[in-house]
Structure 1
Amino acid sequence: MAYFISGLTGEVVGRYQKRNLWHPEREHLTAWGKEGGRHRGFDIPGLTFPDGTPVRGGMLICWDMVFPEGFRELIGDGVELVVIPSFWLVTEDFGEGDEGERERARRGEEEFLRGVVVTRAFENTAAVVFVNAGGLSQVGLPGVGNQGGVMGVETEEMRVVEVDLGRGRGLERRYKIREDMRGVEWGYGVYHGEERKGGGR
């Protein structure tokens, strides 16, 4: 379970239980099941766009990031900032093949993490904040890529990264990704924005 706590009031404004458990976790943890409903966002207190509308945030946890459907459900609820707390270790021993094969597997996983954050930001016109205790923490912005760089793998760091949340809205006006997903021709069935009347952008 992860909580989004308002920096202004200290209140819990969002909570999320991981839906997609990584295979070693399954015998120890309980995933949030489909009966729990769809991924939902929340308004972030004190964070607004220039027109006064609140910024909507949403959360996923670690392995959830692999699956685009969770993002689509959040975007369908008007989310513009997705925060992903994680404990994804790219340094663990993959245990198969010779050292060269294991090193290629580690590098491949590192490249995946570098790329998936930016990909999810672009394909959803939303800022994606990946906060990983195992390294490679980063902020992905649509139309920008990594904002503030990618943190190291075996280092302890903290960065304050300025994020222009208006980028997503600007790109939506240009590419109309969310508008297309709300349209009748959208054939993938995982975007649920029509249920939130007046929602999204």
Structure 2
Amino acid sequence: MAPIHKVAVVQMYCKPMQMERNFQKAAEYIRSASKQGAILAVLPEYHLLNWVPNDPGYKEACSHWQTYLQKYQDLAKENSICIVPGTLVELHDQGTQDERLLNVAYFIDNTGAILGRYQKKNLWGNIERDHLTSSTMDPHVAFDTPIGKVGMLICWDLAFPEAWRELISQGAKTIIIPTFWTLSDCSKEGLAINPVAEGLFLDSMLTARCFENTCAVVFANAGGPPGKGYAGLSQVCVPYAGALTRLGSHAEGMAVVDVDMGILEDAENNYQVRADLARTDWHYMYRHSSSKTDAKL
């Protein structure tokens, strides 16, 4: 029988420029998830500093990323839980002409070892492109973990189906997405049509992606005070069921849910998405034949 994994998705308010406070809050959620038997806890993008790149102290704060990565490794080992600590914004080559800010997600296993690293590829408009360096042409890479083969994306990456296909073609069964997605990411014109258009975008896209890739999706978004534009909607999705759990539109909180990996196997047997992608004659060759040995099914 396929395993059932208990997964925790954390939706927290990332208070701007309060790194240690935010870490301690995240650590409380992670300890609680461990006590509830979760094998994995996922935090939102930018959870340590929020996204305030024009703050005079922002770059200097980002220079401490290694300290906090180690703290999460220690926390994972202490609580015997895998952690994706949202994203860490890393300052590299500080003070040089090649100084860069990278937005990076890590998968840390329950022994504190780093099993995977992903640098955000698709940056959101000039809001991020004026400050961050993307992973450009680096391939998306799936990797082995205690919950099976995993791929990671970050926020706006989820809008690009090519990224998902690259990961599932390598065997990824679970896609983890730390996110900092707000309702105000929509244009004025879009908001006039639907004030919660971005919520519709997220719910629709996450449901579609889990079906069309026969995978589980763990989506952890930031939450925050009402009226501040936080989209929330952190959720864990699988084919057939859609969202197994779904947090509110902005409130902080955590959901712990059982993910039956057998659902993914049933969905693949039904839709045969991965089987089609693995074919040497794919894209898109089907040929009818009266001979079963000749038919390409």
Q: Which TM-score applies when normalising by structure 1?
A: 0.80
What SS does the aligned partner of 1:122 have? Answer: helix
Question: Distance between the aligned counterparts of 2:154 and 2:186, measured in 1?
Answer: 22
Shift of 1:181: 1.1
Question: Distance between the aligned counterparts of 1:168 and 1:126, measured in 2?
Answer: 6
Residue 191 of structure 1 aligns with which residue? none
Residue 167 of structure 1 aligns with which residue? 263
1:131-171: CA deviation from partner (whole Å, max 9, x where unpaired):
001401011101211112x2112201111011111211111
Q: Which amino acid aligns with 1:43?
A: D
Residue 3 of structure 1 aligns with which residue? 106
Residue 234 of structure 2 aligns with which residue? 137
Shift of 1:89: 0.8
Q: Which amino acid aligns with 1:110?
A: G
2:236 aligned with 1:147: no
Higher strand share: 2
> Between the two proteins, what is the percent identity of the paired residues?
45
Residue 65 of structure 1 aligns with which residue? 158
Q: Rg: which structure is higher? A: 2
Shift of 1:95: 6.5
The partner residue of 2:193 within 100, 104, 110 is 104
**Could you say what the CA RMSD is over the residues aligned between the two structures, in angstroms?**
1.7
The partner residue of 2:282 within 178, 186, 200 is 186
2:207 aligned with 1:118: yes
Q: Which TM-score applies when normalising by structure 2?
A: 0.55
Question: Distance between the aligned counterparts of 1:113 and 1:10, measured in 2?
Answer: 31
Shift of 1:70: 0.5
73-82 or 161-170: bigger deviation: 161-170
Residue 6 of structure 2 aligns with which residue? none
Residue 170 of structure 2 aligns with which residue? 77
Question: Distance between the aligned counterparts of 1:186 and 1:173, measured in 2?
Answer: 18
The partner residue of 2:119 within 14, 17, 31 is 17
What SS does the aligned partner of 1:155 have? Answer: coil
Shift of 1:102: 2.7
Q: 1:127·1:140 contact (CA, 8 Å) conserved in 2?
A: yes
Compared with structure 1, are the counterparts of its residues 94 and 11 closer, same or farther at alpha carbon in structure 2 (3 Å cutoff)?
A: same
Question: Larger relative contact order (C-alpha < 8 A, sep ≥ 6)?
Answer: 2
Q: Which amino acid aligns with 2:209?
A: R
Compared with structure 1, are the counterparts of its residues 9 and 103 closer, same or farther at alpha carbon in structure 2 (3 Å cutoff)?
A: farther
Shift of 1:179: 0.5
Question: Distance between the aligned counterparts of 1:93 and 1:181, measured in 2?
Answer: 33
Shift of 1:94: 5.2
Q: Which amino acid aligns with 1:39?
A: H
Q: 1:93·1:102 contact (CA, 8 Å) conserved in 2?
A: no
Q: Which amino acid aligns with 1:40?
A: V
1:47-74: CA deviation from partner (whole Å, max 9, x where unpaired):
3xxxxxxx10110000000000100000
Question: Distance between the aligned counterparts of 1:122 and 1:157, measured in 2?
Answer: 26
Question: Distance between the aligned counterparts of 2:185 and 2:274, measured in 1?
Answer: 40
Residue 86 of structure 2 aligns with which residue? none
Compared with structure 1, are the counterparts of its residues 131 and 179 closer, same or farther at alpha carbon in structure 2 (3 Å cutoff)?
A: same
Residue 136 of structure 2 aligns with which residue? 33
Shift of 1:107: 1.7
1:60-116: CA deviation from partner (whole Å, max 9, x where unpaired):
0000000001000000110000000000011x375735xxx6353432211110111
Gaps of 5+ in 1: 48-54, 189-201
